[in-house]
Structure 1
C-alpha cells in the first residue's frame, strides 16, 4: 500500500494567513488526508484541533526554528501537533555544503538535534534545496556525503524538484540513498530555478520513476510558486498521483 499523500502547507501560505481553517478545509475537500505544516509554534493546539476535525493527519512538519534557538519549545509544539517527524528545511548556510569540513559541521549540528528530539520520541529529518546537490565532491553530491555522517535515525526528505535543478539524476540518487530517504517532496515544472512550478504531472519531472525509486517514503506535494491557482494545481496533482496508484 502506498504511503499517505500529503501537502506541504507552504504551498497555500497566503490562504493560510488569510483564513487558516478555510484553507485547511479546502485541502481536505480536494481529498488529501495528510499535511506537513511549516510553523510548528503557530497555535499548535488550535491547528491540531482543526486538522483532526477535518481528518487531516500531520505526517511531518518543517521546523526551521530547531536550528535558530532553543529547540525545546519547538519540540513541545511538535508533540502537540501529533507527528513524530520534524524536518529541518533550511537555516544552514549553503557554503557548508561545499566542503568536507562544512559537511562535518552540518552533520554534528543535525546529530545533536536528533539526540534531543529522540528523547521526545521524535525523529529528525533534513530537507534539501539545490545547494546541497550542486556541489560534487569526489564524484558524489554533497547530500550523499552528508548522509554518510548522519546518525542512523535521521532521515532525508528529498525535494525531488530541487534535486533535479541541482543537477542530479534523481531516481538514481534516491536509489543510492536507499532507506535514508524517509519522505519525498513531489513537485513539477520546467526544471528551471526561476520558472514557476506546475501541477504534478504537467511538467518535466519523471514522477513515476521517482516514486518507484523510493516506494516506502512519505509523499508530499509542494509548489513553492505556481503558474496557475495553487488549489487548482493541488487538485490536479492529487488526481494525477491517484491515477498512477490505480495503474
Structure 2
C-alpha cells in the first residue's frame, strides 16, 4: 500500500506540557509524494484531534480520503500529524492538564501548518488548498489562519475550511478579531458541522474545559458572511462518525 502523504511535527512539542522541543518547521513524508502535488488543481489537508498518535493520524487521513472519494472528490488528500497524544489524556485525574497541553500544541502547530501552506503555494501558486479539521484540529486551523493573516500576501490563500466537532469557542465566527481573519484568509467558505448530541463536547463544556464549543450548538452572534453551519447527527464524537454524515464536498 502506498504511504499516506503527511506533514509531520511529531516530536516537536513536549506531550506533557506543550513546551517546544524543536525549532524545525515541519517534516514531509514521503517527500517525493509532495513533489507530485505541485501543479495539482487543489489539495485537501486533514487535521486530526486529540488522542491521536501517528497511526491514529494516518487512520483519520484515510477516513477523510475514503469519504471524499465516495462523494466524487478526486483531488489529493494529505494530512497533518502532530503531538496530540498528550500524556495522561485517557486518565480522568490528568484530563485537564492533558487537554491544556493539547490546546497549547494545537495553537503552536498553527505556525507549522501556516509555514507549509506558504512553502507549498510558492511552488504551486494556483493550487487551491482546503482544510478539514476534527475536534482539536479546529484549533490548529484557527491558529494557522491567524499565522497566515500576519502577511497581506496571504489574502484568500486558503480556499475553504470544514470543521467537524469543533472545540474552538462559539463566538469566533462573529468576533471582531477572528471574524476578520476568517474573512480575509479563507476565499470561499467556512463550514461548521455541529452536533448538539456530541457527548465529548457536552462534557468539555460541562467541565468548563471549553466554554461554548462551536461544534456543539453552532455559532453565536452575527457570524461573517463566509461562515455557514450544518446540523448533523453523528453517533458520537469520533471522526469516523462525522465523516459518515458528510454528504457533499467541497
- If the length of structure 1 is used for normalisation, what is the TM-score? 0.41
Structure with the bigger percentage of helix: 1
- If the length of structure 2 is used for normalisation, what is the TM-score? 0.41
